[in-house]
């Protein structure tokens, strides 16, 4: 079974927020919330600066603390693509997962359940890319099976320098940033 | 994973055409966390083209159970290549925006007091027609000036041409790209055009001067910009602000604002002195090169250093870098170039640098765009000849202006010279945010007998109108065909995706009804716009039914470069690339650009610079609920050391006071390393004051309000606005 992840090229990303806007419309994310966001990190002193712009979201971790801490089993690892998903019917909105997530990727939907990025599983199951990947005008985002060495994501990771967020949290995040 | 393939796209289209459900079979468990569409939802798609900016990308709208759900790029469209920019994606909010105008309004009290009476379309148009007729009777039809932005103005322009005025203007010229097009025309005999004919994707070296691609989100350009970066192109960025583009540059030149011409001259000096330029091209197709060489000889990098603060070694190194990659070195001409009043000459310096590098007509430089030949609508009678010429440029005061000047209309309205202007008809442009010196605009408005505004929103300019006509959003109307010349020729169609929410009408309907009321019905042989579109498309061998299905038609590719067989012709008066310009010399201007210093900010003041954000267009999108959420307000960028010295806390609100005592609304401070110490920066379009723009009201500050000064370009009349200085006040 596939293990879906993302590889995002920070050299191409311009931080335009198209990923954020596309996610909002595609997934009808309610006003005031978002499932993905842009982080801009600037280091140095003018004019010698280094900047990294990242499109961030749930990392669909290999070791997801949100799943371990969920009292009802709503947060779970789906067989399909090893995606970390929330079953709305089982979720009681206790926020344990919000507290456990080192990436602050979750929020409580106004309808009362924990919500977050699904990697657009509804699109992926139809053979499409997640909305954020499909919309990106810089084509800096790539989605695919990290375990398949022939996949674009695996090839990019094999050929380019990259890092993930908060590796020290031990969650084994599945979103990798090319630098 | 691959993007939606063409085959799949056509399947989707045909399913949608049949009105059938698209939702695939899914187990019931999935529905608990899957997504937005459930089994049984009725999904339909409609292709159209975007109107969030003038780029006009091909889009596909998806409706769920009849309600607009999302907008995506049309993979068949060469502009979007299947991907809209964030504004286009967020165009959904243009339809749902609760701050839209809902009904025609006439002014109840004095101008500017925002007391309105809702009327029927018939009453509103009757009032407009009567007002126009009275003005024409007393002052002639030329006393009406038409302001517009975008393709939506086409039908109304037709009505006003039939009415008999010669006065048509758009801020996109004198407040934006005009100087660039003149600078390039004077050099190569041709404009850069819209969309720009820049071959960014194939550039091996890209030079951006104040142009902030990535923040400035013209879709194809940003896509190509990322491609060029991905392909390892060398990027040179010149900007007082460490822009997103600067963060990707191999060479970032943090230039002192207002000194770009000095840098451009020094670069040319190096290319000439070291004989790094395209000598073959100059010999075969250059005019006046010896005089040009003599002109640039004194402008060494050492001369430019104290002016620009860019050290000579860097100037030399970057000049050599450009030469190394020529002709695939693109010195980008920019777009919003109205900065200092010498902008046509600066743009000419850019064009001359491109000429030295031989990038015009070459791969990785400037390509030759082409369009599908779609004939104009054939059934119109001739327009009447206006008794008097345009009012905006009396006596050819600005000899190289080739389009109307908004500021010229404003001046004529104020002075009554060379003849009085008594009515402004304003389509889809918020002149109070688009033009510098709001006070002058308001004084001019007070001299009008009739101000009519057609817009989707109760903008600031609408607040001063006598009659406000609410237009449909682009998602609810047809517009004229988009046939802009581009890398690949195409035609695209805008068509209604959804019904307008209340009583808004499409511009073509407004234009036609107004013409009928003005007794100009013979200028509208068609009754419904579909007849017009069908007739134009038939002239190109296309059909409306087919275009409604596909949205975009792509023509046969034409040669792009000299190497592909484009004839090497330069339609200047000499037929050559004019390094030394006889046209400029004859008109009394510098035949080769020269640097002249601009006024410096007084102590305690900072030069006010402004630019774009990727999620907003001008002052037009701040109430769009989706885009407003992405960026609800602007900030004032202040160098971190300056902020510390002045005791400005990041995130705290300040007001800006300009040199003329005009004070802005409170705006949060962005204390950052990403800007020089002698200037501050704001994103344009915020600081709305119109009460009807509820979501945007009180959010951020308006750069336009602080731009009370403007420097007029003596060549072509554009208004440079980077000549304003601000200091900080407590909010």
Of A25, A87, A152, which is closest to B626 when you measure between CB atoms? Answer: A25
CB contact under 8 A, A16 and B214: yes
- pLDDT at position B131 is 98
CB contact under 8 A, B86 and A18: yes
Q: Which two tokens stand for residue B723?
A: 């000549």
Assign a CATH topology to domain B606-730: Barwin-like endoglucanases (2.40.40)
Q: Which two tokens stand for residue B219?
A: 């879709």
Min Cα–Cα distance to chain A from B212, Å: 10
CB contact under 8 A, A126 and B242: no
CATH architecture of B6-96: Single Sheet (2.20)
Chain A residues near residue B233 by CB distance under 8 angstroms: none
* Of B464, B513, B469, residue with least CA distance to B104: B469
Of A25, A135, A152, which is closest to B83 when you measure between CB atoms? Answer: A135
Assign a CATH topology to domain A4-178: Alpha-Beta Plaits (3.30.70)
pLDDT in tens, A111-139: 999 999 999 999 999 999 999 999 999 99
- pLDDT at position B431 is 98
Distance CA B444, CA B422 (A): 10
Distance CA B216, CA B200 (A): 15
pLDDT in tens, B63-101: 999 999 999 999 999 999 999 999 999 999 999 999 999
DSSP string of chain A, one letter each residue? ---EEEEEETTT-----HHHHHHHHHTTPPTT--SEEEEEEEEEETTEEEEEEEEEE----SS-HHHHT-SSS-EEE-TGGG-EEE-TTT-----HHHHH-TT---EE-TTSSEE---TTHHHHTTTPPPHHHHH-TT--EEEEETT-TTSHHHHHHHHS-EE-S-GGG----SEEEE-
Q: Which two tokens stand for residue B713?
A: 């370009």
User: What's the N-to-C CA distance of chain A in angstroms?
Assistant: 29
Which parts of chain B have pLDDT scores under 70? Answer: 1-34
> Strand B168-169's sheet: what is its strand order?
B116-118, B105-107, B467-470, B450-455, B423-427, B144-148, B168-169
Min Cα–Cα distance to chain A from B161, Å: 39
Q: CB under 8 Å to B661, separation ≥6 — which residues?
A: none
B382 reaches A (C-beta below 8 A): no
* Of A47, A8, A61, A90, residue with least CA distance to A169: A61
Q: Which of residues 8-47 of A touch B (CB under 8 A)?
A: 9, 11-12, 14-18, 20-22, 24-28, 31-32, 34, 42, 44-47
Distance CA B146, CA B445 (A): 13
* Of A103, A72, A101, A100, residue with least CA distance to A88: A72
**Cβ–Cβ < 8 Å for B557, B367:** no
**What does each C-alpha distance from B90 to A26, A54, B34, B666 come to in angstroms?**
10, 20, 22, 27
Looking only at the bridges linking them, the beta strands covering A4-9 and A141-145 are: antiparallel
CATH of B105-173+405-489+507-549, one of 3.40.50.740, 1.10.260.40, 3.40.50.1820, 3.20.20.70: 3.40.50.740
B380 reaches A (C-beta below 8 A): no
- How far, rounded to the nearest angstrom, does the alpha carbon of residue B572 sit from its chain's CA centroid? 26
B41 reaches A (C-beta below 8 A): no
Distance CA A35, CA A23 (A): 7
Of A31, A42, A118, which is closest to B33 when you measure between CB atoms? Answer: A118
B137 reaches A (C-beta below 8 A): no
- pLDDT at position B27 is 43
Min Cα–Cα distance to chain B from A58, Å: 15
DSSP string of B130-155, one letter each residue? HHHHHHHHHH-GGGEEEEE-SGGGHH
ipTM: 0.97
10 Å CB burial of residue B227 (0-12, 13-18, 19+) is: middle
- pLDDT at position B31 is 52
Q: How many CA atoms lie within 13 A of A105 on its CB side?
A: 25
- pLDDT at position B649 is 94
B639 reaches A (C-beta below 8 A): yes
B68 reaches A (C-beta below 8 A): no
Distance CA B604, CA B677 (A): 11
Of B35, B86, B226, which is closest to A120 when you measure between CB atoms? Answer: B35
Min Cα–Cα distance to chain A from B11, Å: 13
Q: Do domains B6-96 and B105-173+405-489+507-549 have the same CATH topology?
A: no
Q: Which two tokens stand for residue B539?
A: 């002239």
Q: Counting every residue, how long is chain B?
A: 731
CB contact under 8 A, A46 and B676: yes
* Of B652, B649, B648, B651, residue with least CA distance to B606: B648
**Residue ranges covered by each domain of chain A:** 4-178
Distance CA A175, CA A8 (A): 8
**Cβ–Cβ < 8 Å for B60, B46:** yes
Min Cα–Cα distance to chain B from A14, Å: 5
Min Cα–Cα distance to chain A from B327, Å: 24
Per-residue pLDDT of chain A (179 residues; tens, 9 = 90+): 899 999 999 999 999 999 999 999 999 999 999 999 999 999 999 999 999 999 999 999 999 999 999 999 999 999 999 999 999 999 999 999 999 999 999 999 999 999 999 999 999 999 999 999 999 999 999 999 999 999 999 999 999 999 999 999 999 999 999 99
**Where do we find the tokens 């290549």?**
B81
**Cβ–Cβ < 8 Å for B536, B553:** no
| Omega of the bond leading into A47 within 30 degrees of 0 (cis) | yes
> C-alpha angle B51/B54/B55, rounded to 5°?
95
**Residue ranges covered by each domain of chain B:** 6-96, 105-173+405-489+507-549, 194-368+566-586, 606-730
Q: Which two tokens stand for residue A11?
A: 């050299």
Of B26, B90, B219, which is closest to A137 when you measure between CB atoms? Answer: B219
Mutate: best of A5, A9, A16, partner B, most B CBs <10 A: A16
Assign a CATH topology to domain B194-368+566-586: Dimethylsulfoxide Reductase; domain 2 (3.40.228)
């Amino acid at each position: 079974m596939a293990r879906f992840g993302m590889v995002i090229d920070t050299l191409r990303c311009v931080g335009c927020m198209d990923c954020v806007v596309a996610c909002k419309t595609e997934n009808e994310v309610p006003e005031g919330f978002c499932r993905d966001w842009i982080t801009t990190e600037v280091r140095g002193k003018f004019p010698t600066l280094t900047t990294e712009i990242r499109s961030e979201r749930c990392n669909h971790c290999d070791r997801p603390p949100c799943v371990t801490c969920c009292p009802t089993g709503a947060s779970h690892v789906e067989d399909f693509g090893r995606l970390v998903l929330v079953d709305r019917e089982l979720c009681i909105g206790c926020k344990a997962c919000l507290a456990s997530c080192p990436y602050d990727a979750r929020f409580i939907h106004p309808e009362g359940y924990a919500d977050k990025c699904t990697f657009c599983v509804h699109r992926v199951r139809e053979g499409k890319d997640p909305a954020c990947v499909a919309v990106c005008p810089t084509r800096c985002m790539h989605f695919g099976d990290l375990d398949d060495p022939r996949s674009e994501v695996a090839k990019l990771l094999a050929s380019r320098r990259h890092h993930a967020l908060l590796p020290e949290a031990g969650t084994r995040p599945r979103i990798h940033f090319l630098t | 994973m691959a993007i939606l393939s063409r085959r799949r796209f056509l399947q989707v289209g045909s399913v949608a055409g049949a009105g059938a459900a698209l939702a695939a079979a899914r187990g019931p468990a999935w529905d608990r966390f899957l997504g937005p569409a459930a089994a049984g939802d009725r999904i339909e798609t409609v292709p159209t083209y975007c109107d969030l900016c003038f780029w006009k990308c091909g889009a596909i709208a998806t409706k769920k159970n009849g309600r607009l759900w999302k907008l995506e790029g049309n993979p068949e469209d060469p502009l979007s290549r299947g991907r809209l920019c964030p504004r286009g994606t967020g165009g959904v909010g243009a339809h749902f925006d609760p701050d839209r105008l809902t009904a025609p309004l006439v002014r109840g009290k004095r101008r500017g007091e925002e007391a309105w009476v809702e009327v029927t379309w018939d009453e509103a148009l009757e009032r407009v027609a009567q007002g126009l007729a009275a003005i024409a009777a007393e002052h002639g039809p030329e006393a009406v000036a038409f302001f517009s932005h975008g393709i939506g103005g086409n039908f109304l322009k037709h009505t006003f041409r039939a009415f008999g005025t010669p006065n048509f203007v758009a801020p996109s010229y004198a407040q934006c790209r005009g100087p660039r097009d003149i600078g390039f025309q004077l050099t190569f005999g041709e404009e850069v055009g819209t969309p720009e004919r820049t071959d960014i994707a194939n550039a091996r070296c890209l030079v951006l001067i104040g142009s902030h691609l990535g923040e400035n989100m013209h879709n194809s350009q940003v896509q190509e910009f990322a491609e060029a970066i991905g392909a390892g192109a060398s990027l040179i960025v010149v900007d007082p602000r460490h822009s997103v583009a600067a963060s990707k540059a191999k060479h970032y030149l943090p230039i002192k604002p207002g000194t770009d011409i000095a840098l451009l001259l020094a670069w040319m000096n190096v290319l000439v002195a070291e004989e790094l330029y395209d000598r073959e091209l100059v010999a075969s197709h250059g005019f006046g090169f010896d005089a040009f060489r003599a002109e640039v000889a004194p402008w060494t990098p050492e001369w430019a250093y104290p002016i620009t603060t860019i050290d000579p070694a860097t100037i030399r190194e970057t000049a050599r870098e450009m030469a190394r990659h020529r002709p695939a070195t693109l010195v980008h001409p920019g777009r919003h170039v109205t900065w200092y009043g010498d902008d046509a000459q600066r743009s000419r310096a850019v064009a001359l640098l491109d000429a030295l590098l031989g990038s015009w007509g070459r791969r990785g430089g400037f390509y030759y765009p082409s369009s599908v030949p779609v004939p104009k609508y054939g059934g119109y009678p001739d327009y009447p000849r206006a008794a008097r010429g345009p009012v905006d440029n009396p006596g050819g005061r600005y000899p190289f202006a080739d389009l109307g000047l908004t500021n010229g209309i404003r001046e004529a309205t104020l002075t009554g010279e060379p003849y009085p202007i008594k009515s402004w008809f304003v389509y889809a442009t918020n002149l109070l945010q688009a033009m510098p010196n709001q006070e002058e605009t308001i004084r001019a408005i007070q001299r009008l007998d009739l101000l009519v505004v057609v817009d989707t929103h109760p903008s600031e300019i609408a607040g001063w109108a006598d009659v406000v006509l609410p237009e449909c959003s682009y998602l609810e109307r047809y517009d004229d065909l988009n046939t802009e010349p581009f890398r690949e020729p195409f035609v695209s169609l805008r068509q209604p995706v959804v019904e307008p929410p209340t009583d808004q009408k499409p511009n073509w309907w407004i234009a036609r009804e107004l013409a009928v009321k003005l007794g100009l019905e013979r200028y509208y042989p068609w009754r419904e716009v579909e007849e017009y579109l069908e007739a134009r498309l038939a002239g190109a061998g296309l059909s409306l039914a087919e275009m409604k299905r596909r949205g975009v038609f792509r023509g046969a590719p034409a040669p792009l470069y000299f190497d592909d067989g484009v004839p090497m012709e330069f339609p200047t008066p000499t037929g050559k690339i004019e390094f030394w310009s006889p046209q400029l010399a004859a008109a009394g201007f510098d035949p080769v650009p020269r640097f002249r210093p601009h006024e410096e900010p007084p102590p305690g003041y900072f030069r006010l610079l402004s630019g774009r954000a990727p999620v907003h267009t001008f002052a037009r999108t701040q109430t769009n609920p989706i885009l407003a959420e992405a960026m609800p307000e602007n900030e004032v960028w202040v160098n971190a050391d300056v902020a510390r010295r002045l005791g400005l806390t990041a995130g705290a609100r300040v007001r800006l006071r300009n040199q003329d005592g005009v004070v802005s609304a409170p705006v949060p401070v962005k204390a950052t390393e990403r800007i020089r110490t002698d200037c501050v920066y704001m994103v344009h379009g915020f600081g709305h004051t119109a009460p009807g723009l509820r979501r945007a009201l009180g959010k951020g500050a308006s750069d336009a309000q602080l731009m009370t000064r403007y420097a007029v370009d003596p060549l072509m009349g554009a208004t440079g606005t980077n000549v304003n200085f601000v200091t900080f006040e407590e909010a």
